[in-house]
Amino acid sequence: MLIPMAGPSPGKPQVFPLLPSFVHLFFLIFLALLLSQPNLGWSAEVPGAAVSTETTHAQEVLRSPADFNDLVRLALQQSPFFTKSQLEIKIRRLDEADSKADFFPSVSFIGRYYPSQPSNPAVTDPQDYYVAFTTEDYNPLIAYLSLKARKIITQIAKLAHLKVASKGIETLGKSFLELNGMDRLVQLQTAYIELAQENLRSARERQKLGEVVPMEVEIISQEEAVARAHREALLATRDRIREGIRKFLDLKPHQPLRLDLTDARRQVLGDFEPSKASLEEAQKRDFDVRIKQLSQELQNWRVTLAKMKFMPSFNLTVQTPDPVSSNINRGTFFSLGMKFPIFEGFKRVRDIKRQKYILRQFASEEEVETQELIQEWREVEEALQMAAADMQLAQAQADLARLKMQQAETFYRTGEMEFPAFLQARRNYVEARIKVAKTALEYDLAAVEMKSLTQELVYRFVKEEKFTS
């Protein structure tokens, strides 16, 4: 804003006698500042090269069967699931650059030309233009506090991205295990169908001999149809999971997806043992809790910033006299101004109270996040315990079914058992193995959740130092 100027006394030398030299010097300094800031509009990166690199990496991953590590690396590069949080970090870094720029006064140029010169008898050689360089209200201390606050906001954005990455990798890990589990269940269900078909053939042969009635054959036929329908449902689920992975990776329709599901549990969980996981360590690493802690730190700076609004701001102006003013002196004039709000209805006082209330809100939200983490941890622990018990029971039942099947085979070969009874023992064993596969999958999915809560899953692929440095 413009402030009143004080001109030199008649006959005294002027402070800036040559306006053009000052203008040239100012623009040279301004241009040097622009060129010294690489993030103000120009970037050393070549977007096309980055895209080409990512495309090449995707082609390499998809050219051969991809394991879980390959999928995660590809997802971190191109999945739209992570795009928003990644761009948020870049936006916050631009905000930091804005705060750094606030350490320098913002300069504006005002120029005015009068085609028809004002008539003033006291001026023999009237000036027909007006030029001014003026700064906005400037307070370096507020700029410093704003920079501190925006750095914390950037840290929050980085943790938010890590949280999204953690959730995304957890989702991908579960899908990977589910896909492997569906393959295993499809294999077992196929074996069960083969036994059902064998039972149906036997029933039809015995029907010809008059040993079974048609109703019994129809029931056995319907059981075989139900088994086939169950396999079709498993295949549809497998296709749905695979398509979900494709969408997560943002693959195009023409891009193939071949997966290496060998030892899928080891690929996803590694050497992780849920029984050794620590709740205290999870609390230290939890992104939601850390975000609330940073929010409190940010709010402390905002309280200080609200207090700083009681401090005056300054501005500078360099200008020539306005021809329509009563000043008859010619030259360039410099002035220093100060702005201090006197009364605004106690808004600044209320703003300090408001920021303190918000600080207390963040403190309570941190406690809520901590309690929610503890509750989620307990629920996952309970799910793991139940899944482990179910898996142990299912394995015991499978072992018992295997022994009974071996016994039935011995009785069948010695003629002590009819073929239908022997076949039923084999079917019972396959059913027991199917139950083992289902409970093992439930346990592994709960283990993935536990590993995700400890953040070991995301830290395996994403280094926090990359974002927090």
Query: What's the pTM value of the predicted model, to 2 decimals?
Result: 0.78
Query: Under a CB-based contact definition with an 8 Å cutoff, are residues 277 and 450 in contact?
Result: yes
**Separation CA 129–CA 329 (nearest Å):** 13
- Looking at the predicted structure, is the pLDDT value of residue 400 above 90? yes
What confidence tier does 375 reach under pLDDT thresholds 50, 70, 90?
Answer: very high
Collapsing DSSP states into helix, strand and coil, what is residue 67? coil
From the list 60, 83, 155, 162, the residue with the least C-alpha distance to 460 is: 162
Give dist(CA 244, CA 248) in Å, integer.
6
Task: Report pLDDT digits (tens) over 352-374.
Answer: 999 999 999 999 999 999 999 99
Instruction: Please tell me the distance from the alpha carbon of residue 46 to that of residue 63, in angstroms, as a whole number.
Output: 26
Residue range 19-33+64-464 in CATH 3.40.47.10: no
**Which of these, 266, 310, 219, 321, lies nearest to 444 by C-alpha position?**
266
Give the full edge-to-edge strand order of the sheet including 107-113: 107-113, 129-135, 313-319, 333-339
Q: Render pLDDT for 72-130 as a digit per residue (tens, 0 to 9).
A: 999 998 899 998 898 999 999 999 999 998 888 888 998 888 787 666 666 666 677 78
Tokens describing residue 128: 């027909």
Residue type, 7: G
Rounded Cα gap, residues 79 and 73, in angstroms: 10
| 54 residue type, one letter | E
Residue 119: the pLDDT is 65
User: 245 and 71 in contact (C-beta within 8 Å)?
Assistant: yes
pLDDT at 55: 55
Per-residue pLDDT, averaged over 277-290, amounts to 93
CB 405 within 8 A of CB 425: yes
Give the domain ranges of the chain. Answer: 19-33+64-464
Residue where the block lists tokens 């006064």: 105
Distance between CA atoms of 55 and 78, rounded to whole angstroms?
9
- Residue bearing tokens 């692929």: 461
5: pLDDT strictly greater than 50: no
Residues 6+ apart with CB under 8 A from 443: 384, 387, 388, 390, 391
pLDDT digit string (tens) for 159-196?
999 999 999 999 999 999 999 999 999 999 999 999 99
Q: What is the dihedral of CA 184, 277, 363, 297, to 10 degrees?
A: -100
